[in-house]
Structure 1
Amino acid sequence: MSQTGELSIAFVSQVPQLYEASLAFLSQYEKSACALYESLLRKDKHLYVVFRSFLQSVSIEGLFSFNGETILCQFKNASAQLRSCLSAFFSDAKVTCLAGQDQSVKLMAEALKNTANGSANEVRTFMLMECRAPVEAKQKVLVRLATEADEDSVLQMHLAFLKEEVAPAWLKETIANRESLERRSVRRKISQKVFRLIEQEDSVFCLARVDVQTPHYVQIAGVYTNPAFRNKGYAKSLVCQLTKEICALEKSAVLFVDVTNEAACHVYQSAGFVAFDRYRICYYK
């Protein structure tokens, strides 16, 4: 490691000193960077740290994960030097998606402009929301864990969610081509007991998952209701039940919602969630 205080990028797992310093740094952003924080706790092999090293210490400027396609990031402060360092690192990389806390993503997006990736083709802004105390839903429904027997139903709901809420415009019609890949993902997540669902006559029509957990927070994601069952309070009932389970663990529930999705924003607010930050996702062709 350089001893001059210049910026460097390295795998977090490369040096024990970097891991401990990274953990101390990212603990400050645990609520807004749950997924990144969890990957640090798991010592994910795709996790990088941006740092300055001195004779007796290191100063962490940020962390990001990059699996060859998707970047998830959190930085302390923006600077021309940091942008230049990131541009050099990603000079030959092909990025398809960039996500994280709003200001951190803006910094990384500026850095990517100076690479072959250029400017993002689609940008979405989300509200990061938190609930510390569960709200009792008026509508009582049975919420249960998804099991192996639910694989096909959960997969179809999951694919519909990806098409409607996740995929950029130019990929929406190709989601069906990902069925084999997504089936493996769904199967793994079912075995990890992260999917919760509501059903009627053995037909799953409302789904969510809780697959990101940190010491103080659990992230709710993938909330999706079959269009035929919307505006009937099911999504709120599901989220309220999940929040109740999370708070029983003495943790807070967090999630992010597209700022343009007024119906979803209303559901989460009525379920006791309060906005605390902005989240941003950039898509690249």
Structure 2
Amino acid sequence: MGEIKIKNILISFYVLISMNVVLGTVPAFAKKSVISVSLEKGVYKDLTIPNAPSNFNKGGEYNSLVRIRYNPNTKVLRFIPKKVGVGVLLIKDVKDQILYEIRIDVKQTDLFKIAQEIKSLLKDIEGINILTKNNKVIVDGEILLPKDMNRIHSVVKQYGDKATNLVTLSPLAQAKIAQFIEREINNPEIQVKAINGKFMIQGTCRDKTEMDRATIIAKAYAPDVVVDEAVADKKTQERRADVVINLCEIKQGAAPKPKKIIQLIVHYVELQKDYQKGFRFQ
């Protein structure tokens, strides 16, 4: 009788496991995952929950703190904070078994403090403005030196989604560099213009050597290329072109002077015999 009872228990156990596999649920004895999520008001955050089913039940005290959105295809749960406080979100399966216990802590975002820190780190860069808008610190403006862009990017990147860099390179800087290039080439028949981040050389050169010299000087003065964020994120495709475009023409040489013409004038005299005898020519 004891052996039969044990067999019945094992059969019941296997049936229970099989039902759970078929239904796609987690066994009752499965251990729940406990996750702590720290949020800041006004800044959303995504969390991946790979073990959650497409349709799950929710529980806990979270409604007053956050709004949640779930993408069943990517298994990503998005938290959108509404107010400061702490709470718990429970993710349950169809049998009300707790799969995830997510402990939520929403804090006040101190954007003013972040703005002051960024301003302190970038205070020696001219042409930029730092402001707070849409729950984010924005660095905007136009700079003269491309090397300053590297520093701005490094500082803003430290604050993640709380700060954004919208700084661009000033067209005035490009025009000034074009003047320096033209002055260094030092040829009144050659002009340099800054157009759409490129330097265009126009005019006439005496020969190819002078034309190549103008290109080398322009490339030496050309600043580093500042890559736009949209291009870096492959949202737009940048047109590939050289930074320096030389459109100079080589001067045609003057036509050679005509060679000297030597003119010979020959006079000849035919003497008759009587004339020879009269003058006694020998």
Same topology, TM > 0.5: no
Q: TM-score, normalised by structure 1?
A: 0.25
User: When you count helix as a share of all residues, which structure comes out higher?
Assistant: 1
Q: Which has the larger radius of gyration?
A: 2
- Relative contact order higher in (CA < 8 Å, ≥ 6 apart): 1
